[in-house]
Amino acid sequence: MAVRAVRGAIQVDADTRDDILEGTAELVKAVLDRNGLGSDDIISIVFTATPDLTAEFPAYAARLLGLTDVPLMCASEIAVPGAMPRTLRLLAHVETARPRADLRHVYLRGAAALRTDLPQ
């Protein structure tokens, strides 16, 4: 098994607790599903949120999904002028037999515009 990193992002509609929890859960599930991963494969996840999202910690959504024994951390993205607003990102470190080229990074909703080079 190799240690690999998987990226993902999602744009949410508003800075509300529900939008952040629902968007984060959707993103985590999509990353796991598209890569054939389970909770035991996850080493850690780093979540970031754009500075306009402060209503809830994205990591709390992962805890609600059952990732209670996975190290999780939240951080704020830097406030780059013109950057996409209301965006949650994740960087998951996982154990997998898949080669790096076979991993599927996940960009959902408006965040799909961040990586038009990737298949959706």
Catalytic machinery residues: 7, 63, 74, 77, 89, 107, 115
pLDDT, position 114? 84
CA 78 to CA 51: how far, in whole Å? 7
- 45-87 tens-digit pLDDT: 999 999 999 999 999 999 999 999 999 999 999 999 999 999 9
CA 81 to CA 102: how far, in whole Å? 33
SS3 22: helix
Mean pLDDT, rounded, for 16-28? 98
- Is 7 annotated as contributing to ligand binding? yes
pTM over cut 0.75: yes
pLDDT confidence band for 120 (50 / 70 / 90)? low
On the question of pLDDT at 115 being above 80, the answer is no
Q: Are 32 and 103 in contact (CB under 8 A)?
A: no
- Is 60 annotated as contributing to ligand binding? no
For the chain, domains (ranges, CATH) are: 2-114 (3.30.1330.40)
What is the token pair recorded at 45? 């996840």
Q: Tell me phi and psi for residue 72, to 5 degrees.
A: -125, 150
Strands of the sheet with 87-96, listed across from one edge: 72-76, 42-49, 87-96, 2-11, 106-108
CA–chain centroid gap for 40, Å, is: 17
